[in-house]
Amino acid sequence: MTPAQHAPRGGPAAWIDALLGRPAEYAAAALVLLEVLVLLAGIVARTLGHPLVWSDELASMLFLWLAMLGAVVALRRDEHMRMSALAAKLRQAWRARLHALSLGASLALLLFIAWPAWQFARNQQIITTPAMGLSDMWRAAAMPVGIVLMALVALLRLLRECTPRRVAGALALPLALGLLLWWARPWFESLGQLDLLIFLVGIGAGCVLAGIPIAFSFGLAAFSYLALSTQTPLQILVGRMDEGMSHLILLAVPLFVFLGLLIEMTGMARAMVDFLAGLLGHVGGGLSYVLVGAMYLVSGISGSKAADMAAIAPALFPEMQRLGTPKGELVALLSATGAQTETVPPSLVLITIGSVTGVSISALFTGGLLPALVTGLGLCVVIWWRNRGRGSRRQRAPRREVLRLGLVAAPALALPFVIRAAVVDGIATATEVSTLGIVYATAIGLAVYRRFDWRRLVPMLVETASLSGAILFIIGTATAIAWGLTQSGFSGSLAQAMASLPGGGPVFLAASIPLFVLLGSVLEGIPAMVLFGPLLFPIAQQLGIHEVHYAMVVVLSMGLGLFMPPLGVGYYAACAIGRVAPEEGVRPLLGYLAALLAGIVVVAAVPWLSTGFLAR
């Protein structure tokens, strides 16, 4: 994720880059602001009894443009997430070669899918939106436009940042490898599901380790599999990317990212951190405990783990770093808390389980609180162990000072409760609620803390678009991989193998844990539940496993996989939000993952934790 350090050269490439890049940044920033205004207008109109039937539709159309332009800005600013552990260990010359290869491979993917993207957008022309009566091509055109702009940005960066010899090598190597794979296509088509190992694991993981951005690595894996071992039209690949990036609930990601920046800029973050540091700062690892509790409190509000993390990290990370917590430890704990709180309602994964399996959503919400608490206690044990005997750099604050800091921080500390109350009371949906947070933070910053730097507004909007584009482009390419796994027949084969396990319910439950850890790392929660929930939940019920108990085990397992490197998308999202290189967090993350796994085993072994509070 760390931007490669290369001195850009001037010349025509730099001039063209500025000509394209600045308008893209301003357009992406304007789209973030426009999304806030559209959703806010929808909330106000509905509250007044005159709902705007077109607000969600317009927000959805604008969202894909925001995602793609944000991805363009992220590529131009070199802010797409990458695993640079291997490159960091090489000599400067080899790092420069890998940097050129990264840009060349990214350019190759974009050129491969540019025409299919245009075909996909053109086919959407016949679809008309129900409320506004517009052609869906206006929305889908974001895919080819964004892909072409990213291709131009990648080419310009290649020309500016690499020598002519390395440019030639970066372009020739993907071309030669592509021709070799195309020549071997008949052999690939005869391998059946072994192709999954070659393309989705071999090429995908190989590209990640080589330092190619995660989103482009996933895209190359999905493209290679569909193009070389199936007869699938490539515009379907673009369609699946569109599907993955267009879920309106994901609009909470950029809005919560922007909210996090607002919290920092208006002084709310400083007020909260001063109070929490005064309360717990004298304890070794005190703010780490606060992070665990804060994620438990806000989890599920937005419906997106990335948005939850984006709402919490900016408020706590700066002070935790000032107190000496390493960056890798910060992103490791943020990832672990993201996995820990997957069962905290209102969770989209739980809603999805209820919708595809018929399990009561109310029962799932009731059953999800204790399992998350158990795994959270496990994380706290690791925090205590790592900080045992280690004091804090802060002196214990006097009680009167803590009380004063609490009064100052009260308006800021009320924000999570305001957001959750708006969702519970039906004032705003999980997507819209972030706009209320933005309005609240702006009002508190202006009226209470008297801090609002208007000059920082545009850079904050651009930063929001860039970070969101990097996250959403990963989700889009990961969705394409998920679709490829489904079409290969892997889903049905897996369900049959699970049903034939000996040993009854306990063995089935034990086998489900590693299975859903793996599925969570490649499919995420919602796609995995849609694919496997209807197949496996009836089997669990036949074996005497309570459906809510089984749901908690598989959701926590998927959460563990979602944040487990090298494939877990959630981990890279946490690294992007924390602006930490992925390799820095891997080692400290292992202890937290072990605690989470122990917590999952406890939840699996003690059904009462999931079912004890259900109505009899």
Max mean pLDDT range (47-56, 59-68, 84-93):
59-68
Percentages of the chain per state (helix, strand, coil), in multiples of 5: 80, 0, 20
Amino acid sitting at position 568: G
Residue 63 lies in a domain: yes
pLDDT, mean of residues 289-316: 71
Q: Which of 130-139, 234-243, 477-486, 550-559 has the lowest mean pLDDT?
A: 477-486
Residue 203 clears pLDDT 60, i.e. is over it: yes
- Per the CB < 8 A criterion, the answer to whether 87 and 98 are in contact is yes
- In the chain, % of residues over pLDDT 90: 23
Instruction: Kindly tell me the burial class for residue 172, based on how many C-beta atoms sit within 10 Å of its own C-beta (0-12, 13-18, 19 or more).
Output: exposed
Q: Which stretch of DSSP H or E encloses residue 521? A: helix 504-523
Residue 243 clears pLDDT 80, i.e. is over it: yes
Structural domain including 185 reads 12-246
Max mean pLDDT range (124-138, 175-189, 412-426, 514-528):
124-138
How many structural domains compose the chain?
A: 1
CA nearest 280: which of 418, 406, 412? 406
pLDDT given for residue 68 in this prediction: 95
Work out the number of other CB atoms within 10 angstroms of the CB of residue 7.
Answer: 6
> Half-sphere exposure of residue 12, counting CA atoms within 13 Å on the CB side?
1
Residue 615 clears pLDDT 70, i.e. is over it: no
pLDDT, mean of residues 87-101: 82
Which tens digits make up the pLDDT trace of 390-412?
655 566 778 888 888 888 888 88
Q: Which of 160-164, 453-457, 495-499 has the lowest mean pLDDT?
A: 495-499
pLDDT given for residue 523 in this prediction: 60
pLDDT, mean of residues 257-284: 76
Comparing 414 with 457, the larger pLDDT belongs to 457
Residue 208 lies in a domain: yes
Which tens digits make up the pLDDT trace of 111-140?
999 999 999 999 999 999 888 888 999 999
Max mean pLDDT range (10-24, 304-318, 399-413, 567-581):
399-413
Residue 137, C-beta contacts closer than 8 angstroms, at least 6 positions apart: 121, 122, 124, 125
Residue 51 lies in a domain: yes
- Per-residue pLDDT band for 301 (boundaries 50, 70, 90) equals low
Q: How far is CA 163 from CA 13, 93, 157, 599, in A?
A: 13, 11, 11, 52
pLDDT given for residue 299 in this prediction: 67
How is residue 565 annotated by DSSP?
A: T
pLDDT given for residue 492 in this prediction: 65
- Per-residue pLDDT band for 563 (boundaries 50, 70, 90) equals confident
Residue 471 lies in a domain: no
Residue 82 lies in a domain: yes
Comparing 65 with 305, the larger pLDDT belongs to 65
CA distance 350 to 185: 41
Residue 420 lies in a domain: no
Which tens digits make up the pLDDT trace of 9-42?
557 777 888 888 889 999 999 999 999 999 999 8
Residue 149 clears pLDDT 90, i.e. is over it: yes
Comparing 333 with 267, the larger pLDDT belongs to 333
Which tens digits make up the pLDDT trace of 586-607?
888 999 999 999 999 999 999 9
Residue 606 lies in a domain: no
The pLDDT mean for the chain works out to 82
Which tens digits make up the pLDDT trace of 427-452?
777 677 778 888 998 999 898 888 88
- Per-residue pLDDT band for 528 (boundaries 50, 70, 90) equals low
User: What is the dihedral sign for C-alpha 481, 550, 296, 33?
Assistant: positive
Secondary structure of residue 135 in the 3-state scheme: strand
Give the helix ranges, DSSP H, for 184-326. 185-189, 194-195, 204-209, 214-229, 234-246, 252-265, 268-280, 286-298, 305-322
Residue 252 clears pLDDT 90, i.e. is over it: no
Residue 492 lies in a domain: no
Residue 6 clears pLDDT 80, i.e. is over it: no
Secondary structure of residue 128 in the 3-state scheme: strand
Residue 177 clears pLDDT 60, i.e. is over it: yes
- Per-residue pLDDT band for 52 (boundaries 50, 70, 90) equals confident
pLDDT given for residue 326 in this prediction: 85
pLDDT given for residue 9 in this prediction: 56
Residue 524 clears pLDDT 90, i.e. is over it: no
pLDDT given for residue 84 in this prediction: 66
Residue 2 clears pLDDT 60, i.e. is over it: no
Terminal CA-CA length for the chain:
50
Q: How far is CA 171 from CA 88, 113, 154, 343, 525, in A?
A: 23, 16, 11, 46, 37
Which residues share a beta bridge with 135? Answer: 128
CA distance 83 to 3: 11
- In the chain, % of residues over pLDDT 70: 88
